[in-house]
Amino acid sequence: MLTVHFTHEDIARTHMAPMARLGAEALFALGHLERLGQQSRGVGRWVSHARAWVAAHPFRLLGLQRALQLRDDLLPFLLSRPAPERDAAAPEELRRALGALGEFQKACVAPYRTSIREMLDETRHCYSDMVARLGLAATLERLQCNAKWEAGTLSVDDGTDRAVRLDGQGLKLVPSAFLSGTPRLYRWPERPSDRAPADRPPVRPVPIMVFPVCPHGLASTALVKDTQRPAKPLPQLLGRTRAAVLERLTRPQSTSELSAALSISATTASEHTSVLRSSGLVSTTRNGGSVRHEVTALGALMLNSPPEPARSWCRDCAERREVGSEAKELVA
């Protein structure tokens, strides 16, 4: 059992990061392939693509296997350092593993970059909103079904037996499209390059907890290669921002949620929903002080997709996320 001890400073400094560096996602993706083994049913297009690439490049297999063996040594470099600094600081053996992993990343992860980013953005906004409405403790418990918060301590059944004190550094929460199972906590000692002058304390890397978008390992089935994404004429018709607003509203959202998700002001979000509503593409409902916008049947027809939750590929995960929304409605 992993137990993470939080002080008041740790709670204040814990934050949600957009995503892991692409190299770390590539290593998680490689582990995802390893876990699936020869499983062939319901694996999705990404797994088929990655398996085909590995089969076509058997000379890379040894390097990829070595990268998996060295994952505990590689992750501190992949999660905390940009590529130039990372490659310069890594020992020779790690550089060879990083080279093989880089080829895999370029061929099997980078072509899905847009789909991965959208999935992680949605996850980050979902959990960030949950923190704002339910608090950090309840949100951390929802990162895994068996996670439990009690008296400032988070317990996660990850198969290890260790206790971690964050010592006021807080925790960086990072979603992953390829990780499955339990969240993983990564904490490494101070690096020589991080040593500060004698008159200042050394800067330590902030501990990182990577958590899966889907603990059941189904997130990769929703990934679509950038070149295979359907053409979207709506931005030419409505304008890029207004089309993005309409697309976000396939799931009911408030004006503030739209503002945060699209990085626009609340006033701008309100103006766009007003125009879309007057055109019959969006409906708005009010429940007390809560206002929610949602695409109409006509709007869904324009999007060429039904107004259903975007993450219908995993019902259990969708239900776990919706708990926060239900709690909000009860309060309202």
Confidence of residue 165 (pLDDT cuts 50, 70, 90): very high
Residue type, 288: G
Give the DSSP H/E element, type plus range, for residue 294: strand 290-295
302 within 8 A of 234, measured Cβ to Cβ: yes
Summarised one tens digit per residue, pLDDT across range 86-137 is 556 667 888 888 889 999 999 999 999 988 988 888 888 888 888 888 899 9
Q: Choose between 95 and 326: higher pLDDT.
A: 95
Confidence of residue 328 (pLDDT cuts 50, 70, 90): very low
Pick from 162, 203, 218: nearest CA to 186: 162
pLDDT value at residue 316: 74
pLDDT value at residue 277: 92
Pick from 96, 137, 147, 113: nearest CA to 26: 113
Domains of the chain: 1-81+89-192+203-224 (no CATH), 229-301 (1.10.10.10)
pLDDT value at residue 142: 85
Q: Choose between 107 and 159: higher pLDDT.
A: 107
Backbone angles phi, psi at 232, to 5 degrees: -120, 100
Q: Choose between 319 and 209: higher pLDDT.
A: 209
- pLDDT higher than 50, residue 309: no
158 within 8 A of 182, measured Cβ to Cβ: yes
Mean pLDDT score across all residues of the chain:
82
Summarised one tens digit per residue, pLDDT across range 133-150 is 889 999 998 887 778 999
- pLDDT higher than 70, residue 281: yes
Name which of 64-68, 174-178, 198-202 the model is least confident about: 198-202
pLDDT value at residue 199: 55
To the nearest 10 degrees (0 to 180), the angle between helices 255-262 and 266-278 is 110
- pLDDT higher than 60, residue 244: yes
Summarised one tens digit per residue, pLDDT across range 38-67 is 887 778 889 999 999 999 988 889 999 999
- Three-class secondary structure of residue 159 per DSSP: coil
